[in-house]
Amino acid sequence: MLRIAVLGCGRIGRMHAANIGAHPRTRLAGVFDVSREAAAEVGAREATPVFATDEEVFASREVDAVLIASSTSTHADYIEKAVAAGKPVLCEKPIDLSLERVDRCASTIGKTSLPIMLGFVRRFDPTHRATKAAIANGDIGDVHQIVITSRDPGMAPAAYMEVSGGIFRDMTIHDFDMARFLLGEEPQTVSAVGSRLVNPALMARCEDWDTVSVVLTTPSGKQCVILNSRQAVYGYDQRVEVFGNKGMAISENRRAHDSVRFAAEFTARGAPYLDFFIERYGEAFNAEIGAFVDAVENATAPEVGFADGRAALVLAEAAGRSIREGRPVNTSEVG
Amino acid sequence: MLRIAVLGCGRIGRMHAANIGAHPRTRLAGVFDVSREAAAEVGAREATPVFATDEEVFASREVDAVLIASSTSTHADYIEKAVAAGKPVLCEKPIDLSLERVDRCASTIGKTSLPIMLGFVRRFDPTHRATKAAIANGDIGDVHQIVITSRDPGMAPAAYMEVSGGIFRDMTIHDFDMARFLLGEEPQTVSAVGSRLVNPALMARCEDWDTVSVVLTTPSGKQCVILNSRQAVYGYDQRVEVFGNKGMAISENRRAHDSVRFAAEFTARGAPYLDFFIERYGEAFNAEIGAFVDAVENATAPEVGFADGRAALVLAEAAGRSIREGRPVNTSEVG
Amino acid sequence: MLRIAVLGCGRIGRMHAANIGAHPRTRLAGVFDVSREAAAEVGAREATPVFATDEEVFASREVDAVLIASSTSTHADYIEKAVAAGKPVLCEKPIDLSLERVDRCASTIGKTSLPIMLGFVRRFDPTHRATKAAIANGDIGDVHQIVITSRDPGMAPAAYMEVSGGIFRDMTIHDFDMARFLLGEEPQTVSAVGSRLVNPALMARCEDWDTVSVVLTTPSGKQCVILNSRQAVYGYDQRVEVFGNKGMAISENRRAHDSVRFAAEFTARGAPYLDFFIERYGEAFNAEIGAFVDAVENATAPEVGFADGRAALVLAEAAGRSIREGRPVNTSEVG
Amino acid sequence: MLRIAVLGCGRIGRMHAANIGAHPRTRLAGVFDVSREAAAEVGAREATPVFATDEEVFASREVDAVLIASSTSTHADYIEKAVAAGKPVLCEKPIDLSLERVDRCASTIGKTSLPIMLGFVRRFDPTHRATKAAIANGDIGDVHQIVITSRDPGMAPAAYMEVSGGIFRDMTIHDFDMARFLLGEEPQTVSAVGSRLVNPALMARCEDWDTVSVVLTTPSGKQCVILNSRQAVYGYDQRVEVFGNKGMAISENRRAHDSVRFAAEFTARGAPYLDFFIERYGEAFNAEIGAFVDAVENATAPEVGFADGRAALVLAEAAGRSIREGRPVNTSEVG
């Protein structure tokens, strides 16, 4: 039983705390949040210790590893402290909004053999994993085109949007990681367009976009298109299409149930999609914890690590620059 | 070009007349109806001769074959006259409402080598044919269970229902033929239940049922379930499921188009089904004509003949008796 | 936290023990099995006490309630002992293979206010529940026809089949309960056909059938068809169709994931179905526990109780008699 | 009955000749091809006159209108001659490979009131039309993103590829028109990437691409992504997705039939897609002829005219330039 402490008691931290408590291979070693109230609430609900400071977490002998689910600006600090304390890390994306800070963190932690795993949870979803397996099995053949459709059910509150770091580092970053997971080759060029259609005023104020299309290409000519929207009224839209010279695999959306309806006005109407990420990727969040335990117990590199976190951020930065400069950007220009 | 005359200018006769006119292998040789007005209207629309009497049709040297789409009570007479005149026949189902009359017709026409084809059009539908092919290819293995769902979009007018001969001889007869087409073995027992749920008053007056479930079994133990309703608000419901020891094939409903819709209240809502039989089995009606021309030109037995028409009627009669007597009926008891 | 002990450590008992241990509202109070080895294994795995005798379970002050997952022949005894001990019961189906024993059990326990819940787990499946909700909401209108397709992926070992009590009491009993759940009216007649197609020799030896079709009717004329097979090579086939005068709802099969595949030989090939009942009804087994806790905590009648267990058994008995006597059987003839 | 002559007796000309002959509102007035052999063959098959020269076609008083299905290089000439002869035109895409020639043609024919209709057949497909209707009805709300997936089943012969004018003017041009049909606003920027993955050697020789992704944006910020491949092993892939603030509509692929298959290795495997354009757009080609007759008979502008042909060509040219120059291209730079 790996004893994991959770840093950050917001929505996603609360979910992780509950998952760790219920997982057969882990135990919740306690929680911390800069808001004592938030931490106390989760501590009570999960019947787990509440740490008064982050230092206590890193110093505790009851804590084997940490899961970082605090606000983005703290991620790099916490990673550095965890490594200094010899504790493996499972860190929510992104490592930081700034590539410079990510690189400083990398040089601080150096060539640690401690597992630093990044929370790109979609890699652990059974549906996307089956799509990946179809590539690995050779059923797709050479990959030619990938289409990743990723639309949130609705825009987060303005307060969140203002500090999110922008759509590419906050939302598309999952899709950039999915692209890298499936392409089997590093993207070389990034070409993006962005619009303000869902909430133009808010987006203008944030210098952000709520509707983007991004095209990635690799040196061998593979193409990957990412489609994002901050608001899909029909629910959380999470699809992936991988097209190759031998076939195609499509990750379709998953529904809450499979009762379909027929009436005078329609035939075979589907049930709602699983919504939102906590439901849609519930199985994946659990599998992610299992993979983290594997990495810690076997002292192996985690399936998705620090370098993957950095690579996704490079693509995010390139995409932002592509829109601002109105041209394709080579990843080598960014980092 | 086979020159075919059409007897009967009701809805289905009009459709056949148009199809024969447009078919690359046939020519419409003229039409006849006891209603001169109806015949005149079709004659004008199709620019084809209108015969004044049925005798004229059978006597005409411009007529190579006849398609019988008149009211059921005339079918056996016309078949006898056509055979006497040496003209091949494509006859809408059923041959007659009375098995006795069918048998008298059989003995009248004797062992004719003229093609007498029955209009069990569903055998020619591309979807059902692919399901049949899956059996023939061995992909299903031994057939264990068949489920035929057949529901009309709405009940025909009372005037029609009163002379229809009852649901089994009017509607289920198509499903009985489909069962025989797919089972590859003659049904032995027929067990039916019937309810009056759509229009109880009319059904009571007609001593008929609008909602029936029928179970057929064969000597080797194959089971076939038929589900009928006179009214499905979501449209013409035409499905077939064939289950065997190696797999299953399902004939799904066919839609008018494949644009699916998503909104705040639903996901992936399907388009309407093709509705009614003229649309749903449009391709099949054309293929049926082609099969008839094949039989005539090659002087071979038609794919579905007089004996098939009789066999379906036997099942219809057994089903009616099963409800009335509240017990399974052996087909040998009926005919 | 309701403290539940599990009686029976076979496949389904083990699953229940794990579920109770992980459920947020229950605690596993211990396990018992006539095989000490089986009990010890589960006790060790779940870190829970192992009771030496069933009496110990019923006597224990650490046990608030019992879950009966032992062999069928012990169910009625355990129910009687649990009631005597004042402990609520969640009992796997069937109560007993013999209606006489069920009735004796009923009279022994008398008018207890203790919750006696029957494990008809499918009622708690999100998909079937959505189908039921469509009826309750009025979206289906008056129910006219129900089709329940229930096929196991493969036949259980001969040793099990020989003591199973026959397909109707072992397998179809779930479908009889589903029929009652959805019909909203007690079935009145039962008409069944049965074949030996999957393993004819074994079925003959057991005087059982591996392939059955059953038709139920209610006094108001509703029809329900149940299709069972002991072996579907494509997986665990669990579908329900409810057809009414305003629309239709279909519980489709649920898949392990939603990655679909395309290749030169096919389009849109689906992933495997969830297989077998432990996977397919995993969510339902958990929801069932929650419903049991609700009944215990609120001292209300469980959603599915002793009378439901008896009613399903009556239908099973009627179905068997229908095949043996070759006629529809009225439920009043049986019980 | 509009009497239409067909210029060009290649694959698509032959199809049009047959369609015109069978259409209830048109008559085939004859055919012409620079290959007398090809023309003679179609003339014989369709029992229609064969013109010896194109001049004869334009001069004939038996010809009310012309359908141009000859090689692209002749389109503009034939349009000019038809207009000079006062004959309405239905012309296969593209008008010409050169925008300069298109503009010269435009100025030659001047402000003719004769219907000049362009053969963008997909606008007449029932599925795409239903998707368009969902926009027109307001069911989609404001359109935010469109995804057009268009993949051929296999690459045409090298001889054809060498004179095709390149993927954008030969293949994507249909998608550019679909984009314009659905966007309801002219695209402003075009950003394309292209790869040589299906047949690199041939593509290099032709300075062409077999795999392209194109992003269009409009002044109001709508985004449209087009995905093309010259080879999809699973068949002719023709999908359109329209995403807006109120919902989404997806034009799914259409199958040859709706029999789905289940076996030990898979569930619900779909039938093949309709393949190739003659089958897939069979209904559309007929509806297109009907729309042409409407325009001629009512002397109204055709639903898709010369200006639409030019606009699609502008997008094709911009896309090519975008790849060559590695930057987004504004349509105003091109034409």
Query: Starting at the edge strand that comes first in sequence, how are the strands of the sheet with C247-251 ordered?
Result: A266-269, A259-263, C247-251, C237-244, C143-151, C223-229, C211-217, C189-195, C329-330
> Which positions in chain D have a beta carbon within 8 angstroms of at least one beta carbon in chain A?
142, 144-145, 147, 149, 151, 189, 191, 193, 195-198, 211-213, 215, 217, 221-223, 225, 227, 229, 231-234, 243, 245-248, 326-328
Local confidence band at B42 (pLDDT 50, 70, 90 cut-offs): very high
Q: Is there a contact between B321 and B334 (Cβ–Cβ < 8 Å)? A: yes
User: Residue C98 and residue C126: Cα distance in Å, rounded?
Assistant: 31
User: Residue B87 and residue B98: Cα distance in Å, rounded?
Assistant: 24
Q: Which of B74, B73, B54, B44 is nearest to B6 (CA)?
A: B54
Count of alpha carbons within 13 angstroms of residue A267, beta-carbon side: 22
Q: How large is the C-alpha radius of gyration of chain C?
A: 20
Q: Which chains touch D (3 or more CB pairs under 8 A)?
A: A, B, C
Q: Is the peptide bond before C51 cis (omega within 30 degrees of 0)?
A: no
Q: Would you tell me how many other CB atoms lie within 10 Å of the CB of residue D297?
A: 12
The domain segmentation of chain D, as residue ranges, is 2-114, 123-280+311-334
Count of alpha carbons within 13 angstroms of residue A202, beta-carbon side: 18
Tell me the H-state helices in B141-217. Answer: 158-163, 167, 173-183, 200-206
Which CATH code for domain D123-280+311-334? 3.30.360.10
What is the 8-class DSSP label of residue B156?
P
One-letter amino acid of A44: A
- Could you tell me which residues come within 8 angstroms of residue D56 by beta carbon, excluding any fewer than 6 positions away? D32
Q: Is there a contact between D250 and D258 (Cβ–Cβ < 8 Å)? A: no
Look at residue C335 in the predicted model and tell me its pLDDT.
81
Residue pLDDT, tens place only, C120-175: 999 999 999 999 999 999 999 999 999 999 999 999 999 999 999 999 999 999 99
Residue range D269-289: average pLDDT?
95
The full DSSP string for A60-121 is -TT-SEEEE-S-HHHHHHHHHHHHHTT--EEEPSPS-S-HHHHHHHHHHH-S--S-EEE--G
Count of alpha carbons within 13 angstroms of residue A268, beta-carbon side: 14
Strands C211-217 and C189-195, bridge-based pairing: antiparallel
User: Residue C240 and residue C148: Cα distance in Å, rounded?
Assistant: 5
User: Residue A202 and residue C212: Cα distance in Å, rounded?
Assistant: 62
Compute CA distances C65 → C11, C25, C52, D36, whole Å. 20, 13, 17, 92
Local confidence band at D335 (pLDDT 50, 70, 90 cut-offs): confident
B-chain residue closest to C213, CA distance: B223
What is the 8-class DSSP label of residue D95?
S
Q: Is the peptide bond before C94 cis (omega within 30 degrees of 0)?
A: yes
Look at residue A335 in the predicted model and tell me its pLDDT.
81
From A117's Cα to the closest Cα of chain D, the distance in A is 33
Residue range B299-303: average pLDDT?
95
From C214's Cα to the closest Cα of chain B, the distance in A is 9
User: Residue A36 and residue A53: Cα distance in Å, rounded?
Assistant: 9
Residue pLDDT, tens place only, B204-257: 999 999 999 999 999 999 999 999 999 999 999 999 999 999 999 999 999 999
Residue range D170-186: average pLDDT?
97
Q: Are residues B229 and C151, on separate chains, in Cβ contact within 8 Å?
A: no
* Candidate from C22, C253, C257 with C-beta closest to A22: C22
Residue ranges with strand state E in chain A: 2-7, 26-32, 65-68, 89-91, 116-118, 143-151, 189-195, 211-217, 223-229, 237-244, 247-251, 259-263, 266-269, 329-330
Q: Are residues A328 and D191, on separate chains, in Cβ contact within 8 Å?
A: yes
Q: Which chains touch B (3 or more CB pairs under 8 A)?
A: A, C, D
Look at residue B335 in the predicted model and tell me its pLDDT.
81
Which CATH architecture describes the domain A123-278+311-334?
Answer: 2-Layer Sandwich (3.30)
Q: Is there a contact between C284 and C121 (Cβ–Cβ < 8 Å)? A: yes
* Candidate from A198, A248, A327 with C-beta closest to D327: A327
Q: Is there a contact between A227 and A168 (Cβ–Cβ < 8 Å)? A: no
Whose tokens are 């309407």? That residue is B272
Residue ranges with strand state E in chain C: 2-7, 26-32, 65-68, 89-91, 116-118, 143-151, 189-195, 211-217, 223-229, 237-244, 247-251, 259-263, 266-269, 329-330
Q: Are residues B259 and D131, on separate chains, in Cβ contact within 8 Å?
A: yes
User: Residue D309 and residue D313: Cα distance in Å, rounded?
Assistant: 6
Residue D44, judged by CB atoms within 10 A of its CB (0-12, 13-18, 19+), counts as exposed
User: Residue D307 and residue D95: Cα distance in Å, rounded?
Assistant: 10
* Candidate from A264, A271, A272 with C-beta closest to B233: A264
SS3 C329: strand
User: Residue A87 and residue C36: Cα distance in Å, rounded?
Assistant: 42
Residue B196, judged by CB atoms within 10 A of its CB (0-12, 13-18, 19+), counts as middle
Q: Which of B143, B255, B257, B274 to mutate to test the interface with D (most CBs of D within 10 A)?
A: B257
Tokens of C158: 């001969």
Residue pLDDT, tens place only, B15-24: 999 999 989 8
Domain A2-114 shares a fold with domain A123-278+311-334: no
User: Residue D126 and residue A212: Cα distance in Å, rounded?
Assistant: 30
Q: Is there a contact between D227 and D167 (Cβ–Cβ < 8 Å)? A: no
Count of alpha carbons within 13 angstroms of residue C227, beta-carbon side: 30
Per the rule left: phi > 0, alpha: psi between -120 and 50, beta: everything else, D8 is left
Rounded average pLDDT per 10-residue block, chain A, 335 residues: 97 97 94 98 96 98 98 97 98 96 97 95 98 98 98 96 96 98 97 98 98 98 98 98 98 97 95 94 97 97 97 98 98 93
Q: Show contacts of C254-257: CB within 8 Å, 24+ apart.
A: C254/A257, C254/A258, C254/C127, C254/C280, C255/D267, C256/A126, C257/A126, C257/A127, C257/A129, C257/A130, C257/A254
Look at residue D276 in the predicted model and tell me its pLDDT.
93
Residue pLDDT, tens place only, D19-73: 999 898 999 999 999 999 999 999 999 999 999 999 999 999 999 999 999 999 9
Count of alpha carbons within 13 angstroms of residue C36, beta-carbon side: 2
Residues of A in contact with D246 (CB under 8 A): 233
Look at residue D261 in the predicted model and tell me its pLDDT.
97
User: Residue C151 and residue C174: Cα distance in Å, rounded?
Assistant: 11
- Could you tell me which residues come within 8 angstroms of residue B201 by beta carbon, excluding any fewer than 6 positions away? none
Q: In the predicted model, is pLDDT for residue D224 greater than 90?
A: yes
Tell me the H-state helices in A184-304. Answer: 200-206, 277-280, 282-298
Which CATH code for domain C123-279+311-334? 3.30.360.10
Residue pLDDT, tens place only, D302-327: 999 999 999 999 999 999 999 999 99
Local confidence band at B130 (pLDDT 50, 70, 90 cut-offs): very high
Q: Please give the residue that has the higher pLDDT: either C24 or D181.
A: D181
User: Residue B303 and residue B309: Cα distance in Å, rounded?
Assistant: 12
Which CATH architecture describes the domain D2-114?
Answer: 3-Layer(aba) Sandwich (3.40)
From D105's Cα to the closest Cα of chain C, the distance in A is 43
Residue pLDDT, tens place only, A150-171: 999 999 999 999 999 999 999 9
Residue range C219-246: average pLDDT?
98
User: Residue D65 and residue D83: Cα distance in Å, rounded?
Assistant: 10
**Summary mean pLDDT of chain B:** 97
User: How many helices (H) does chain C have, and how many strands (E)?
Assistant: 14, 14
From D260's Cα to the closest Cα of chain A, the distance in A is 16
